[in-house]
Structure 1
């Protein structure tokens, strides 16, 4: 269970006719507002806000309390995490049916991970940490600043925004990693995943 909690928490987001699909003005305004608020919560490390805006289906896998406990426990693991920059692109509607809409949101982030435990500041520990982070979706570069014992993690990532009438009228979001099909299949129907994968490959 601990492994699943870590996986879900850290992941804490058309050439085939999809570009013809359009959001209504109301949906677009609501989605842009949701994404802006989600990014604000992320940048300020407001974990409660992030969890509140996470797609409810995630909590079929882990409880809100488990996710919050893990996120709030990062400092106890030896890290102080902050963001220097988060910039998102315009959301793109990639699939919909009568009751559910899915939109992809690409975003760029620069995250600072300050190492606070002395035993984790060795070259071996830092190399292991860097390798682990490089295997995380969207991470493109990692620099270590020895003066501040900090890792600067930069990359382009994706959110998948979902508006599902089964859960109400609000948009919610999940981190979307094409390299994690097992988790994706627990949260998104296979036909939708196929459309999203095709869209990503062609754009």
Structure 2
């Protein structure tokens, strides 16, 4: 009996460590795909419930247009991410985790901005409360922006128990509720 309990605990801790290791590996894959603008891979790593709200092909189009259009280009600035991984939780039928890390981007405008317009943009980004650094780089006609990013990592039946991700943004709480549900967000303290 003692041996059975010990074996069960050993297997449970091994499974947890393996699950955490997979989580870290897949979070890094998501970060790398985003940095490299490999949006097909980003969408492959995205929690599929998002596509019930925005179809996958539309999401791909939106990502491409957001990162490069007639007005500006967005590029992620490589920062070796230090993922802060919360305790993995089982909530309802999902295994779920909250991951936070620092992310940075540079937005470069095609047309030269006036100082007044640049100041407006800096103010607007700072007012969101999502960014810790917002600097206008006049010589580049760009903005360097840095802040905390939050990913929800989810494994469930729809993902074949593989980790998939969705960006959490409290400013889009209604969409997050549709994706994961209000009870789960509350259980995670979000």
Band of TM-score, shorter chain: 0.7 to 0.9
Counterparts of 2:68 and 2:28, CA distance in 1: 26
CA offsets 1:118-143 (integer angstroms, 9 cap, x no match) = 4xx23343344334433556312210
Aligned pair 1:159/2:129, yes or no? Answer: no
Give the match for residue 98 of structure 2: 104
Structure 1 length-normalised TM? 0.77
Q: Quick one: higher RCO (CA 8 Å, sep 6+), 1 or 2?
A: 1
1:93 corresponds in structure 2 to: 87
Q: Normalized against structure 2, the TM-score is what? A: 0.81
- CA distance 1:192–1:95, shift in 2 (3 Å): farther
Quote how far apart the aligned CAs of 1:195 are. Answer: 1.7
> Mapping of 1:1-203 within 5 angstroms?
24-73=16-65, 74-86=67-79, 87-97=81-91, 99-118=93-112, 121-136=113-128, 138-197=130-189
- The structure that has the greater radius of gyration is 2
> What's the RMSD between the two structures over aligned residues?
2.2
Matched residue SS, 2:34: helix
Shift >6 Å, 4+ stretches: none
Structure 1 CA distance for aligned equivalents of residues 20 and 161 of structure 2: 13
CA distance, structure 2, for counterparts of residue 56 and residue 135 of structure 1: 31
C-alpha distance in 1 between matches for 2:70 and 2:88: 37
In the alignment of these two chains, the number of paired residues is 175
Q: Which runs of 5+ in 1 are unaligned?
A: 1-21
